[in-house]
Structure 1
């Protein structure tokens, strides 16, 4: 069985999706959905493992990223369009259903897909970002804030303050990341640490600071974290994010109200019946799910929920791939045994 990773593109009249694929074409699809500001290569440690087990492991470049279609309006990055991209991808594989795995902004995609199109899901797994039945938006996140860490007077939007910076100062947000893309990549993709637990996350200060790195400032230049990225990985991220810029990736944050309206259309399906897995990142101090109420709506709306915890930061699939793969494999074997490939 080949564990080589292939490059593919599917094109429809509305969108083109580039994706990486591994494993037998007849295998049950496991579709890995990346977040901000990542690429299909964010799943480089998962594709050969799940392809090698006999699944059809797929990782697309999402809308606005890499070699997939890029658009020049904020509203083109609403969840409704992104979910449709994923349904088209699934259709192109000739499969009725997939196991969907999402991280960061990829998690709302797979949760939305499970809510909007349950008949296309064998199961759904999310890393770091739990299910928000009302849609992914500051309006649904801020009410769940831990006010012992983020007193409302000082931090009205808590750790989600950075999302409001996009709304209020979008061009400045894009410009700060684009000013030195390599420095941005090296600063972002770093391993987690227990330092910072119980303290306000840096994202709580974005507006007060006048930007991610201060008014008009680029990312500070720090050494690459070799525990997360090789030089080759860094170069691939830099190339993809330089080619397209940050307008598309950042526009995902500009559709909170549209995402809430989309979720509201499917409110009757807000309770998810299919097996679901949530993997907590113990050292993700923005998506802090272990000691807060952030995961409560998910627990109330998933009929068959498994939870696991990995001692990592936000970029867990890249920082702790063996632990993430093990959590996914255990869940698949326990909750979806009939899909396990017979080799």
Structure 2
């Protein structure tokens, strides 16, 4: 098995750095895994190891604001324009001009921004939970698709996205709640799905401005009252230490730029001709894509779109790594066969016999 290496690249006049993990043959097809909120590069360990084992060059950065990457308490560092600058520096550091980009949560917003701003750098795009043409376009990218039968506008103005508005209105208070028990928060988000939630009932995140996080808990649940994590102990420990190093201020600042992100990504050609995969999380009620209209913009924009569903909640690659890996690898071998390791040298042919 290939060892996981640590690298870093500086950019923005050497004022910022991105730390990233890399594994697999250096000349293998490049796949970049982009995490969301909250996560760090190490949470992709199962994907890094699997892709490296079949010959890909797999890398995962600590996104700006996380882990060992630059994590300044400067809100402007976390708008999509600044993040994309870092992603282009990351790509350049690999010596490549393009890659397969795989994103989850805010990572999907970032990879979508990369696809809009630098389509030549994207051989294929994979979004998990958060569709293309949503969060990278600011409020207008997702708020119009709230299911008003579940979230009447007079009671739930921002629908399940109320927690995002809470960041804009009460940022320091919101961050302080998470920072009060970072280990508990990390383990809470890494829990396995044990019950199937009711899609017809309002999500607790639709009430954050009224009652607070997690249905009004005064502080996050502590690690000793939570069940086993869905990720290995060593990954959870590393992830927790990463988050304790930075706290939640910097990663949460991604939520402060909806208007600016809309100006950055709006008005551009959003049609994608590359192969695109969307991975639905069956029990994700915040980014609910199975019965809502949230996928409409992605379906309209992508001419070669594949969709697959994993029986998990929002952190699906924590919870169901084997299923997620299988979906990703099947997509690549079917839709981007020339990028499969060794494809150009293998001489692989298929003959259909006439019986």
Give the TM-score band, short-chain normalised: over 0.9
The alpha carbon displacement at 1:211 in A equals 4.7
Report matched runs for 1:147-158 at 5 Å: 147-158=148-159
Q: Distance in 2 between matches of 1:14 and 1:278?
A: 35
Q: Distance in 1 between matches of 2:144 and 2:24?
A: 42
For residues 199-221 of structure 1, give each alpha carbon's deviation from its aligned partner in whole angstroms, at most 9, with x where no partner exists: 21111010010455648x32122
The answer on 1:87 being equivalent to 2:98 is: no
Cα distance 1:258–1:212, how it changes in 2: closer, same or farther (>3 A)? farther
Q: Secondary structure at the match of 2:317?
A: helix
Q: Which moved more, 1:60-69 or 1:2-11?
A: 2-11
Contact 1:189 1:225 in 2 (8 A): no
Q: Distance in 2 between matches of 1:319 and 1:24?
A: 27
Match of 2:270 in 1: 270
TM-score by length of 2: 0.92
Q: Secondary structure at the match of 1:269?
A: coil
The alpha carbon displacement at 1:230 in A equals 3.3
Contact 2:43 2:239 in 1 (8 A): no
Cα distance 1:134–1:231, how it changes in 2: closer, same or farther (>3 A)? closer
Match of 2:339 in 1: 339
For residues 220-254 of structure 1, give each alpha carbon's deviation from its aligned partner in whole angstroms, at most 9, with x where no partner exists: 22544435133323322221111111111110000
Q: Secondary structure at the match of 1:44?
A: helix
Contact 2:190 2:229 in 1 (8 A): no
Match of 1:307 in 2: 307
The alpha carbon displacement at 1:99 in A equals 0.2
Q: Distance in 1 between matches of 2:239 and 2:134?
A: 31
Larger radius of gyration: 2
Q: Secondary structure at the match of 1:250?
A: helix
Match of 1:259 in 2: 261
Match of 1:102 in 2: 103
Match of 1:17 in 2: 18
Contact 2:30 2:56 in 1 (8 A): yes
Q: Unaligned regions of 5+ residues in structure 2, if any?
A: 347-355
Q: Secondary structure at the match of 1:135?
A: helix
Match of 1:5 in 2: 4
The alpha carbon displacement at 1:190 in A equals 1.9
Q: Distance in 1 between matches of 2:213 and 2:182?
A: 16
Contact 1:189 1:315 in 2 (8 A): yes
Q: Distance in 2 between matches of 1:24 and 1:256?
A: 38
For residues 5-55 of structure 1, give each alpha carbon's deviation from its aligned partner in whole angstroms, at most 9, with x where no partner exists: 111112232421111111001111100000001000111110011111111
Contact 1:176 1:213 in 2 (8 A): no
TM-score by length of 1: 0.95
Q: Distance in 1 between matches of 2:39 and 2:296?
A: 27
For residues 35-91 of structure 1, give each alpha carbon's deviation from its aligned partner in whole angstroms, at most 9, with x where no partner exists: 001000111110011111111000000000000011222121001111111111110
Match of 1:233 in 2: 235
Contact 1:177 1:219 in 2 (8 A): yes
Q: Distance in 1 between matches of 2:222 and 2:135?
A: 38
Q: Distance in 1 between matches of 2:190 and 2:150?
A: 25
Contact 1:133 1:270 in 2 (8 A): no
